Amino acid sequence: MNISENISFSTLCSLKIHEMAPFYCELNSEEELNEISEFLDREKIKHCVLGDGTNIVPTGKFNGLVIKNKLKGIKREGTKIEVASGENWHSFVDLSLSEELFGLENLALIPGTVGAGPIQNIGAYGSEISDFISEVRVYDFENKTIQTLNNKECGFGYRTSIFKNTDRYLVISVTFELLSEPNINHTYEALKKEIQNIGKTENDLKPRDVFNLVSKIRKKRLPDHILNPNVGSFFKNVNLTEQEILEVDLPIGTPIFKKQGSIKISSAYLIEKAGWKGKRKGNVGVSDLHSLVLVAYEDIKGKEILDFADEIMSDIYNKTKIKLEIEPNLI
């Protein structure tokens, strides 16, 4: 295992933020985990694990070891498939369909690695990764052991899990229980419109069609992080109880979605109605394609984008009494 020093996060994360990582290493095998743990204990420093760096915001306060996850490998047994955490997510979704394993097609083109999926409980277009996770193998830095956690033990919630906001666990692999027969999920409104545009009905729609349509929608609605540095959705959508929604001031016409006892409100709608879509301040701004996406126009420091996000959150709170939450991990 090789340890490098003073590496810029601008080469490690999709926001291209210019903050420094004191130490850096690449994880290529499980056998290196104990060696990494010993280094952390010896140096008495913290660590963070990166896949493709598409869901992190370096804040300038990190003083530890960045572990770049490069674990690879895919093993299938029937409808179960174990995937190493360093594999690319979109490529795996594509592969699963080629293997005639279904269920993940609505999650196409989400950037990042497989290991980042359960941490964030990624979701899109009416589907969540936790719906298909059977087990997650992790390295526990506290007791220096490898553990296998079942779905319930992962504590999945809306864009969260027990793996988020902690450096205790490193995801080694994720085992999915997929479907041998298609079960098309086309409930999301934007997806319905695209289905109509290609002249197909629910009955003749195939999972590969959904995969292609979701990819098309994402390319159209979200800026490419290679060309326009971003982390996708910077803010979570809002979930309120029936009591809480009586205490906020929503703009007239705000779309409301009820699901499992909670009420979901589009944060993108609130931000756009407040006039932030396409607005720029210095080297950061809100994308003119999607108001949940903050874009870095030049090399920036973490504080610049966080200050800009704070302005948006304060404005939304003053206008609606709703507190937006930041979705990516701050490190």
Enumerate the active-site residues.
Answer: 159, 233, 327
Token pair of 21 as six digits? 């990582």
CA distance 313 to 271: 9
Quote the crossing angle between the two packed helices 89-98 and 207-221, to the nearest 10°: 160
Query: Would strands 64-69 and 20-27 be described as parallel, antiparallel, or unpaired?
Result: parallel
Using CA of residue 296, residue 302, residue 308, residue 314, what is the dihedral sign?
positive
Q: Give per-residue burial for 293-306: e unless 16+ CB within 10 Å, then b.
A: bbbbeeebebebbb
Is residue 115 within 8 Å of residue 69, measured between CB atoms?
yes
Q: Which long-range contacts (CB under 8 A, 24 or more apart) does 250-255 make?
A: 250/320, 251/319, 251/320
Residue whose C-alpha is closest to residue 112's, from 155, 188, 49, 28: 49
CA distance 48 to 45: 10
Q: What is the dihedral of CA 304, 309, 312, 317, to 10 degrees?
A: -130
CA distance 110 to 327: 14
* Sheet arrangement for strand 284-286: 280-281, 284-286, 294-296
Q: Which DSSP state fits 158?
A: T
Q: What is the dihedral of CA 259, 261, 263, 264, to 10 degrees?
A: -40
Is residue 96 within 8 Å of residue 178, measured between CB atoms?
yes
